[in-house]
A and B are shown apart, each in its own frame.
Chain A
């Protein structure tokens, strides 16, 4: 369900045995970051899942070893499809990598089970978007430093807008403007729809409209579902209305052909997508000279989901001091500068200009401006359990089998049961 940074990952994986092989007296102690490290040579394993970022990670590792000659970093790539299964198995067996990538939906599961180590040192978190710092805080403790970030925008096909004589979306457009444009852009004769009301990426679709409508997915204490809130339902209705008006292809069609493919075939005028889609749309032959991006339309308020990957430390690492040094480096400005030249938007404030200027033809600033009103990706201790319930229940509303109010009520009940078990 959570899509960002998972694309393009497909390469070999290195076994997670770096740490286990290293005989070590586990020096260092807990006073991390004092700069007084033991001169003993150590190797830290660093697990990541995105093949497209592997070279950037190796560059960061090399840069870290240059300033910390006694610490070598072994970057271990495991493709997304196997990453969590493998990490769970390794953590159960006490052989987790020293430092690894963490995402929002999985974070609380790892933190609440004591698999990852809280950050002891006082760090200045004001350099990262607050939503991301909140995302990686559990029980009042920060566990990871944000590495990158992504927000959501409306990618649109200028050619189809021109053909329908519809004005391009402005920076302050609203739900009403969006709905008006959607009606004008839909052209059944040509098989063109305004948008695909996608059900497999809540990060890019439902969560955004839920918060725009003033609703919520999960209560701040993580105990209660927000799906029975009338405003949340309003945010879901945004999509079911588009389906009912046939301004979106039906769910069957989107099951057979994903909205991304439809957009890239010129069948959808708009596509709500993450900042990570830049790579996709600038590479694709059809979209590369036809698309631009606008902010998400404003409902009762402005909102976009923000998510980002963080670097965390294993609770069982044999080198806690060195691991923290490395995590601190990865969360620093020099590291963000290296990352920003290569791939995703770095999370460190003020280092994002390289990312924006890489494609001057697109209004990428939209994604950075959105940080001001961004909402953290909703999570709890066992996020995956109720994410499954979201699909099970909302699929019935998407097909029209069950009215959205009823599907949302069922979902809220099911989700509350699951949250009670956490």
Chain B
């Protein structure tokens, strides 16, 4: 068997070709290593540890004993867990109203020839860059039953407003309004970017065909925006399910929150986790609560991915 110089060259080139992607891949890994390591050490490892601790009884100062599924059976029979899940899902569902609102505002801001666009955009985006605690404190004051601005405005038209965040009937809605108010700017910016990526030709063609503004919005803008809306809904649902800071500050921080008559309507899953882990020194159980939340989030996210086929149009 003899090998010609030609075939050797071909083989060398082939080897080179095969090696290069591997070397490139190695460089790729090297570049993501800092982030990857950070994620592994500060996110993945604690998640695994938490999963482990959820099967233990863990006191205030470490030292855990394996208790098997005890925490999970307790979880299923705990009325506070059921209540917290219900509150969290209610908040998440009501919070989805923010998405169509963001689309409407984005469409209004996207109109050609609108003056002062940057002023509006800043105004909408400001709550996003404001500290959630500051936002919650501010709204706490606005919602105050006796001295709050909301009720003072209502009083001018003869309405005697309730104690918004202390009244079980209104507390959740009051909270959702703040949640939407503080996230609408973020969603709006993403929708604006999505709208500006829609090819202008589609609108030109549509107007040549005689479609009006409204028709264009429903037949072009909305379908073309659906991938963006899908992204936004995934992110909002995950964010809503993890709600904590807003409720923590608005209900009255720390343990005194439980003296709020509306607490039963406001307590979220993460808040319950906080109370078990850091107030009542019941950390193994707290770990089980967050693992359950993780499963709930994963489940809802998978469901959303399944449902996307029905309404998301990719170009």
Contacts and interface: CB of A to CB of B under 8 A. Distances in A.
Contact of A391 (B60, B162, B167, B258): B258
B280 A384 contact: yes
A88 B259 CA distance: 26
Contacts of A384: 255, 279-281
A276 B109 CA distance: 55
Interface stretch (A32-40, A52-60, A153-161, A248-256): A248-256
Interface residues of A, number: 26
A385 B259 contact: no
Residue of B61, B143, B252 with most chain A CB atoms under a 10 A cut-off: B61
B167 A1 contact: no
A113 interface: yes
B166 A255 contact: yes
A388 B280 contact: yes
Contacts of A399: 261
Contacts of B147: 257
B260 interface: yes
Contacts of B163: 252-253, 255-256
Contact of B145 (A85, A252, A388, A398): A252
B252 A200 contact: yes
Nearest to A265: B147
A57 to B, nearest CB: 25
Interface string B138-152: 000001111110000
B61 A88 contact: yes
A256 B261 contact: no
A385 B262 CA distance: 21
A256 B165 contact: yes
Contact of A91 (B61, B145, B258, B275): B61
B281 A385 contact: yes
Interface residues of B, number: 30
A93 to B, nearest CB: 8
A332 interface: no
Given A255-B163, A256-B166, A382 B61 contact: no
A388 B259 contact: no
A255 B255 contact: no
A391 B59 CA distance: 22
A1 B167 CA distance: 22
Nearest to A85: B278
B256 A92 contact: no
A255 B260 contact: yes
B60 A251 contact: no
Interface string A194-213: 00000110000000000000
A115 interface: yes
Interface in A248-283: 251-253, 255-257
A109 B281 contact: yes
Contacts of A255: 163, 165-166, 252, 259-262
Nearest to A395: B259
A395 B280 contact: no
A357 interface: no
B139 to A, nearest CB: 12
A351 interface: no
B245 interface: no
Interface string B145-173: 11110000000000000110111000000
Given A92-B61, A257-B146, A200 B280 contact: no
A199 B145 CA distance: 18
Nearest to A393: B258
Contacts of B280: 382, 384-385, 388
B199 to A, nearest CB: 52
Contacts of A85: 278
A392 interface: yes
B252 to A, nearest CB: 6
Given A88-B60, A256-B145, A388 B252 contact: no
29 contacts: A85-B278, A109-B60, A109-B281, A113-B59, A113-B60, A200-B256, A252-B163, A252-B167, A252-B261, A253-B145, A253-B146, A255-B260, A256-B143, A256-B146, A256-B148, A256-B163, A256-B165, A257-B144, A257-B146, A257-B147, A382-B281, A384-B255, A384-B280, A384-B281, A385-B280, A391-B259, A392-B258, A395-B258, A395-B260
Given A256-B165, A395-B263, 8 more contacts: A109-B60, A251-B166, A252-B162, A255-B260, A382-B281, A384-B281, A392-B258, A399-B261
- Those 6 A-B pairs whose CB atoms lie nearest each other, nearest first: A391-B258, A255-B166, A200-B256, A252-B166, A252-B163, A92-B62
